[in-house]
A and B are shown apart, each in its own frame.
Chain A
Amino acid sequence: MSNENLELKKRQILSSQVDLSKFNSKNFEKATDEEKAQQEVMGESTTFFKDGMRRLKKNPLAMGSIVVLALIIAIIIIAPIFVPYSYSDMITVNGVRDKSASNLGMFEYSNAEMKYMESTGESLFPHIFGTDSLGRDYFIRVIYGTRVSLSVGIVAAIMVLIIGLIYGSVSGYFGGKVDMIMMRIVDIIYSLPDMLIIILLSVVLKEVLASKIKGTALAALGPNMISMFFVFGLLYWVTMARLIRGQILTIKNSEYVLAARCIGTKDGRILRRHILPNCLSVIIITTALQVPSAIFTESYLSFLGLGVSAPLTSLGSLANDARGAMQSYPSRLVIPAVIICLIVLALNLLGDGLRDAFDSKLN
């Protein structure tokens, strides 16, 4: 066989599946150095975190939300230092309870306060949001209410995170029958009408807990608050558990985990080095989104009178208290409502922003 024929023979075996007749010699011209360079272009060197932050910074809604939240948090931390009123007690003038101080409008002073200021020449701190029907400074009550609501949101989110993370990881990592049983339990909890259960549980737990916590540090929170945490812990972790399980399942079957197993990496290290870091963004985002949902539920329950015990307050119970005098003093309802909206909206927008910036599937 001549050399040429051999060439041809060899070429026949070439590509079996690509239909070469669709191409001509132009398609197979050697790449120029320039083209090769394009192929090998490197992305900018950034870490995953920096990369995400850069994207987050470009999102005006998320950045606006951060500013709003930072402002709210700064105010609720700093304001009680400057405001000389207490959230729980009626305003006093010169050590005497000021009976005329109830139901003041924004920046109004009561008669007793006016007299006091005139006689001493001293100026009293203004009632920025006025006072409530019991003569308590409303601004400081809103501040404390916001503190309570935010803390409830954050504590609930952390509880949900811990329970959901453990449950979801176990279910996803072990898979098989374990996974099936664990997920059916989740399905059952998921299918319960949560608001109804929350209300029923709150009522029942309130009775049971009231006697148990008497005299302990928990008493300040009140049985309602504690039963609310119970409810969050019992019901709200399911979404988190499902999400984490789903993530772990996909990552567990990914090629880089297979590659790690091929190297001989042990289970523990695979979980630590490969699976969890890749779930992290989803975990953070879901936790961030859990906060507003818990705040909303807390407000809702407080509004129904199942929230924190007086004199402690939350945004929801403030709104509830204001209901009676809604016609005459609408601002007392509007203020906590607006703050709830601001916080929930800002946290949701921030959570969405985080998702857009850090979720690798969208990159």
Chain B
Amino acid sequence: MSEKETKNLLEVSHLKQYFPVSQGLHKVPLKAVDDISFAIRPGETLGLVGESGCGKTTVGRTLLRLYEPTAGKITFDGEVLFDSGEQYDENDKLIVDATGRPIYGKKVNKDMLPYRKEMQMVFQDPYSSLNPRMTVEDIIGEPLDVHKLYSSKAERRDKILSLMELVGLNAEHAMRYAHEFSGGQRQRIGIARALAVDPKFIVCDEAVSALDVSIQAQVVNMFEELQEKLGVAYLFIAHDLLVVHHISDRIAVMYLGRMMEIADADELNNNPMHPYTLSLLSAVPIPDPETARKSSRIVLEGDVPSPLHMPSGCPFRTRCKYATEQCAMEMPQLKDRGNGHFVACHNK
């Protein structure tokens, strides 16, 4: 096993998720996630940003195998959980036979049950992600039941109460129903449910977006505290760069199902390279007029193309002011620009 493999908690490579959607009489694939690769180290937070509909949720759900991946490889803690069998050479080119069809290696499709204890998810909507017919105790207790993590009723209860305490919920409310709680409290219930199995990795899918601004900060701080206490790694999905930059060690930028740029949080902030990242950053108004005048702002024009009608080549080219002929012909690959900074662009 190479050093890299032992260091990463989670590795995702060439992950694809195509949804078949009906168009008239036939089905066409909607490429919600197309060839995405990244890795997360233990205890690290990777932020994932991008406009709504770019496939962030799908990435999170697919790597947890809530959706069956169309293709790709998912490795967790050194174990391959899923591998569709495509092989890639050192230059990350698909290995094909003479007819252009991929040569398949070993396919892997592991039973996820044992890994459900290691990888968890906090959902975006604290309202719809909690069963309205269950008490808080049963919601948090369900993972304990499923994985048989207690030996007596009393132990189950103790665990639930300490989880509630951990996420800042009043233990007296254990017998209440989710609908009796405010949004922030519900999200804490969802977090407690994810933490119940003591996971090493949690996907936080816009876990704070649905909350009030003042409560967002509380919950984000809680995520940080939990990470310090428990050493859990996060894939922190958000469309709000403020939150992501605050919590993340590294940030990945997605556009139309593709990875555009990935770098350390501060590196991305100080030295954004991809035109899409630049436009995301300059969409933020700059308080100081002096700085504003100096900065060259890029305003995003036009709409995001439909994922059913992807532009050829670079998906961003319809809105990119640096676009050249090459951009329409060839899909740019993620390239290392040093400093662990990867960018997928021909011209930047």
Contacts and interface: CB of A to CB of B under 8 A. Distances in A.
- A, B assembled together: yes
Interface of A: 8-21, 28, 30-31, 35-36, 39-48, 254-256, 258-266, 269, 273-274, 277-278, 280, 360, 363
A56 B133 CA distance: 18
Interface string B132-158: 111000100011001100000000000
Q: Is the interface of A mostly helix, strand, loop or mixed?
A: helix
B92 interface: no
B281 A16 contact: yes
23 contacts: A8-B287, A9-B269, A12-B282, A16-B49, A16-B284, A18-B240, A39-B182, A39-B212, A39-B215, A41-B182, A43-B180, A44-B180, A47-B177, A255-B125, A258-B123, A262-B120, A264-B112, A265-B146, A274-B131, A274-B133, A277-B133, A277-B134, A360-B132
Given A21-B285, A256-B130, A264-B113, A42 B173 contact: yes
A13 B284 contact: yes
Contact of A255 (B128, B182, B214, B287): B128
B147 to A, nearest CB: 7
B71 to A, nearest CB: 21
A217 B326 CA distance: 86
Given A45-B175, A262-B116, A10 B269 contact: yes
B237 interface: no
A13 B280 CA distance: 8
Interface of B: 49, 51, 61, 64, 66, 112-113, 116-117, 120-121, 123, 125, 128-134, 138, 142-143, 146-147, 173, 175-177, 179-182, 184-185, 190, 193, 197, 212-215, 239-242, 245, 268-270, 280-288, 291
A264 B242 contact: no
A256 B193 CA distance: 11
A13 B214 contact: no
Nearest to A280: B133
Contacts of B285: 19-21
A15 B284 contact: yes
Nearest to A22: B285
Contacts of A35: 214
A93 B240 CA distance: 92
Nearest to A251: B131
A360 B132 CA distance: 9
Contacts of A10: 245, 269
A42 B180 CA distance: 6
A190 B214 CA distance: 53
A259 B123 contact: yes
Nearest to A259: B129
B142 A260 contact: yes
B116 A31 contact: no
A40 B181 CA distance: 7
B179 A43 contact: yes
A264 B269 contact: no
A190 to B, nearest CB: 24
A278 B215 CA distance: 29
Contacts of A42: 173, 176, 180-182
B66 A261 contact: yes
Contacts of A47: 177
**Lowest 8 A-B CB distances belong to which pairs?**
A264-B116, A43-B180, A14-B242, A255-B129, A277-B133, A256-B131, A31-B214, A255-B128
Contacts of B286: 8, 12
Contacts of A273: 131, 134, 138, 142
Contacts of A14: 241-242, 245, 284
B158 to A, nearest CB: 19
A30 B242 contact: no
Contacts of B181: 42-43
Contact of B242 (A13, A254, A280): A13
Nearest to B129: A255
Contacts of B182: 39-42
Contacts of A8: 286-288, 291
A31 B218 CA distance: 12
